[in-house]
């Protein structure tokens, strides 16, 4: 029986290069990047290896993935041990005054209740430094309309699994973000009808 704790998410291996291209454009030169919903840890391992000047803080609400994150990143000196953050929780277990220079989150806001998206925006608005980017990756509707039949089918399958889940409308996410001082800055079209969307923290 294998004792390797590393989880392997095939989609993550497929999309990591194109997400990295976006991150190279929008992340600051230096500082700390908080990743929410790290899952297997394959993204943070790949990004931290490609961008070694940045410090990386992985997290997830599910502590059972921490062994996988640690195993994928244990040879990288710029990745901290994962912390448990439930995006939907009103308080995040970060030290008072803890701040980061960027936040990334891939494939989470449609696979969780809307409250997790709002909680993410609340939490990020508190810990992200001014002008720092919040980068979300995944499928989105635009103007309340699906951008591809495959996304519509995916949305139906998500809602069948849990009626609180579903592909989010970028306009609705952007309105909720603006109310929290996070302004939509860039939208990148990605393969397989996904988007990378970048918000910026405005002056408080
Ligand atoms: C589809 S996986 C994506 C993992 C990784 N970001 C990727 O793209 O490979 C969704 C992840 O979101 C996490 N998640 C779901 N709800 C969450 C919440 N409320 N707060 C933080 N993480 C959450 C799950 O535990 C899971 O690791």
pLDDT tens, residue by residue, 26-82: 999 999 999 999 999 999 999 999 999 999 999 999 999 999 999 999 999 999 999
Lookup: tokens for 204: 């408080």
Ligand 1 center to 8 CA (angstroms): 14
Round to the nearest angstrom and report the end-to-end CA distance of the chain.
53
How many CB atoms neighbour CB 152 within 10 A? Answer: 16
Name which residue sits closest to atom 22 of ligand 1, judged by CA: 37
Mean pLDDT of 180-195: 98
CB of 120 closer than 6 angstroms to any ligand 1 atom: no
**Which residue minimizes the CA distance to atom 10 of ligand 1?**
108
Residue 8 CB–ligand 1 contact under 6 Å:
no
Ligand 1 binding pocket includes 37 (Cβ within 6 Å): yes
Question: Is 1 within the bounds of a domain?
Answer: no
Q: Would the CB of 36 count as within 6 Å of ligand 1?
A: yes
pLDDT of residue 95: 84
Q: How do residues 142-170 score in pLDDT, each as one tens digit?
A: 999 999 999 999 999 999 999 999 999 99
pLDDT at 1: 64
**What average pLDDT score do residues 121-129 get?**
96
Report d(CA 109, CA 105) in Å as an integer: 8
Would 4 be classed as within a structural domain?
A: no
Verify whether ligand 1 is closer than 6 Å to residue 12 (CB atom). Answer: yes
The answer to whether 44 and 56 are in contact (CB under 8 A) is yes
The residue whose C-alpha atom lies closest to atom 1 belonging to ligand 1 is 107
Q: Report if residue 175 sits inside a domain.
A: yes
CA 181 – ligand 1 centroid, Å: 24
CATH of the domain at 111: 3.40.50.150
Q: Which atom of ligand 1 lies closest to the CA of 42? A: 9
pTM greater than the 0.85 cutoff? yes
Tally of domains in the chain:
1
Q: Is residue 3 part of a domain?
A: no
Range of the domain at 20: 10-201
Residue 128 resides in a domain: yes
Instruction: Give the torsion through C-alpha atoms of 143, 122, 20, 24, to 10 deg.
Output: 100
Q: Separation of 37 CA from ligand 1 center, angstroms?
A: 4
- Cβ neighbours of 95 (radius 10 Å): 6
For the cut 80, the answer to whether the pLDDT of residue 204 exceeds it is no
What DSSP string runs through 65-109? GHHHHHHHHTT-TTBPPPEE--TTSSS----TT--BSEEEEES-T
């Amino acid at each position: 029986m294998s004792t390797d704790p590393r989880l392997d998410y095939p989609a993550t291996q497929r999309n990591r290069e194109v997400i990295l291209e976006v991150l190279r454009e929008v992340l600051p030169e230096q500082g700390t990047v908080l990743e929410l919903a790290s899952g297997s840890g394959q993204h943070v391992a790949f990004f931290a290896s490609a961008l070694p000047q940045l410090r990386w803080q992985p997290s997830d609400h599910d502590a059972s993935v921490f062994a996988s994150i640690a195993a994928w990143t244990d040879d990288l000196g710029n990745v901290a041990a994962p912390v448990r953050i439930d995006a939907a929780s009103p308080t995040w277990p970060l030290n008072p005054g803890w701040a980061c220079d960027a936040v990334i989150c891939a494939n989470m806001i449609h696979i969780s209740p809307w409250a997790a998206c709002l909680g993410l925006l609340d939490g990020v608005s508190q810990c992200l430094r001014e002008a720092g980017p919040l980068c979300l990756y995944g499928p989105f509707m635009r103007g309340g309309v699906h951008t591809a039949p495959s996304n519509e089918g995916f949305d139906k399958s998500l809602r069948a699994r849990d009626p609180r889940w579903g592909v989010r409308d970028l306009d609705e996410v952007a309105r909720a973000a603006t109310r929290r001082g996070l302004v939509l800055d860039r939208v990148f079209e990605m393969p397989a009808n996904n988007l990378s969307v970048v918000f910026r923290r405005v002056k408080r």
